[in-house]
Amino acid sequence: MAKLKTVDAVVVGAGFSGLYLLYLMRRQGFTTRVFEKGGNVGGTWYWNRYPGARCDVESMQYSYSFDEELQLEWSWPEKYSAQPDILAYINHVDEKHQLSRDITFNSSVTRAKFEEDSKVWKVVVDNGEVVNARHLIMATGCISTANLPKIPGINDFNGCTYHTGYWPHQKVDFSGQNVGIIGTGSSGIQSIPVIAAEAKHLTVFQRTPHWTVPARNEPMTEEYERSWKDSYAERRAQMRYSPSGSLRSVAPIDLSALDATNEEREQAYRERWAAGGMTLLKSYNDLLTNDAANETAAKWVRRRIAGIVQDPKVADLLSPKTYPIGTKRLCLDTNYYETFNRENVELVDIIKEPIDRITRSGLEVLGRSFDFDSIVFATGFDAMTGTLLRVDLKGRGGLNLSEKWAAGPRTYLGLMTEGFPNMYTITGPGSPSVKSNMMTSIEQHVELVVEMLVYFRDNDIETIEPDLRAEDEWVEHVQEVASQTLFPKANSWYMGANIPGKPQLFMPYIGGVGAYRKICEKVVAEGYRGFILEYKNTKAEATG
């Protein structure tokens, strides 16, 4: 049998992370294979094509910074980009840098095993290929495995069903239809107003009301675009060391909400509500750490909901009361609450009226039945770990990642996990990832990994993996930082609480993008402190 050629790296996924990895790996002369489950590039933006899909980070900041020419030549049509515009951008990057020629599409990596004798990863792909790679880079995204709830009768329905995360490529036409939608997170909140405007009737099944604030999306103005392009390098540098990897349009007030007067708070919240976007959560410095401070913002938003939604009962149902504002991902919407004033929209509280089953013609809740032409599942994702754990990943001694992470993900810096040498998780659990502007975090991790690979090549280092003690300390640090906030109080997907049986702990690192970056820089400056480096033909050496 012909001997398998060994490549420097296999990259899993061709979203923003995988594409940038491929670009940098090529420039460094590494041989790289990229495998992508989808039929084209784009990752999240390839799959999430549901009506109203849009990014909640401003366009000028949700884009690559590595290519100065690209960031100056590209024009975003809106302040917050719609999915088709982001996908068009990704396709442009792909074409500009001729990336697709090294990507194998419609191909999922199903298994990978670290071969201890040869120190390579043997990677098995569902297209029949087996590839040997010195490094395995999981660029699989944080929110990429859909969660389809196990509702009895789900396969009996005669109409059409959709999940927002696996939306068809051709337009779905809901006109004249009775539609049911389950789920009111970001995807539901974005799609409900758009589907309601098209369908004959829309029934929204809500389990937990989510906090949402207006995005205030608008066409990009030349002036705003110019203000960014005139100082892009400087602004990007600030973003990299900022708390969230992005810059706010309205400055945060460095004061406790409890130290402000009622009038001052009213003005601060009003100003940020009017500006739109995530800035509301940054009105004061303790909204996400102090219950009483948080409640001042929560109460204010509940009053806004009551002011928009005409039926007081519906307004009350839409008002979150069981968890602090911002501790599930704050949603940005366009006309979400207004949509519940439409005559063709009904809200069903499935806490009071639980879904009994899906039937051939629709859905039954506590003795009430609904007939639908289509049912939309906006029920979220097995986030952060779901996609990684669906690949059968075996490290040293045949250790399976799902065994190692049985009680929750364990990583050092969210980048590597002990026992899995030369395997990297781009924006993995334990890194700022979903608690940041993903583009900033993706670029940081990709640049860090490629810098590491160059260093290993130049210094004859064969393998790297975290030292167990460093990993344990990092896992503890991630939880410690989270415990100083209100985040653990919500049953969120950050906590793994949306998936029955999933271990519950706060998965992203919330210490801040800039702080995290400095930690990584220090680790590198100190000779990869906390990692075990194994040199070619020599014994392992722990650093730090």
Residues forming the site for ligand NAP (CB under 6 A): 54-56, 143, 149, 164, 182-188, 190, 207-208, 329, 332, 350, 378-381, 434, 493, 498
Q: Whose Cβ is closer to ligand NAP: residue 277's or residue 530's?
A: 277
Q: How far apart are CA 533 and CA 404, in angstroms?
A: 21
The residue among 166 and 403 lying less far from ligand NAP, judged by its C-beta, is: 166
Element containing residue 7 per DSSP (H, E): strand 6-12
When the beta carbons of 235 and 329 are compared against ligand NAP, the nearer one is 329
Smaller CB distance to ligand NAP: residue 100 or 335? 335
Minimum CB separation from ligand NAP for residue 354, in Å?
9
Specify the residue, 79 or 329, whose C-beta has the smaller distance to ligand NAP: 329
Give the per-residue SS3 of 213-224.
Answer: EECCCCECCHHH
Kindly state the smallest distance separating residue 493's Cβ from ligand NAP, in Å.
5
Q: Alpha-carbon distance 169 to 171, whole Å?
A: 7
Q: Rounded distance, CA 389 to CA 79, Å?
A: 36
Which residue's beta carbon is nearest to the bound ligand NAP?
A: 185
Q: Which is nearer to ligand NAP, 165 or 409 (CB)?
A: 165
Give the residue with the Cβ less far from ligand NAP, 186 or 411: 186
Longest dimension (CA), the chain: 78
- Closer of 59 and 177 to ligand NAP (Cβ): 59
Q: How far is the CB of 149 from ligand NAP (least distance, A)?
A: 3
Shortest distance, position 20 Cβ to ligand NAP, whole Å: 19
Rounded CA separation 62/56 (Å) = 9
Six-digit token string for 207: 């389990």
Taking the complex as a whole, how short is the minimal distance between the CB of residue 143 and ligand NAP, in angstroms?
Answer: 5
**Residue 157: φ, ψ to 5°:** -60, 130
Q: Classify 33 as helix, strand or coil.
A: strand
Nearest distance from residue 526's CB to ligand NAP, in Å? Answer: 33
Q: In angstroms, what is the minimal distance from the CB of 50 to ligand NAP? A: 8
- The span from the CA of 227 to the CA of 147, in Å, is 40
Write out the H or E segment, with its range, that includes residue 238.
Answer: helix 232-240
Query: Tokens 């708070």 — which residue?
Result: 265
Rounded to whole angstroms, the Cα distance separating 140 from 132 reads 19
Q: How far is the CB of 103 from ligand NAP (least distance, A)?
A: 24
CA distance 232 to 331: 27
Distance CA 34, CA 22 (A): 8
What backbone phi and psi angles, to 5 degrees, belong to 516?
Answer: -65, -40
- How many helical (H) and strand (E) elements, i.e. helices and strands, does the chain have? 16, 21
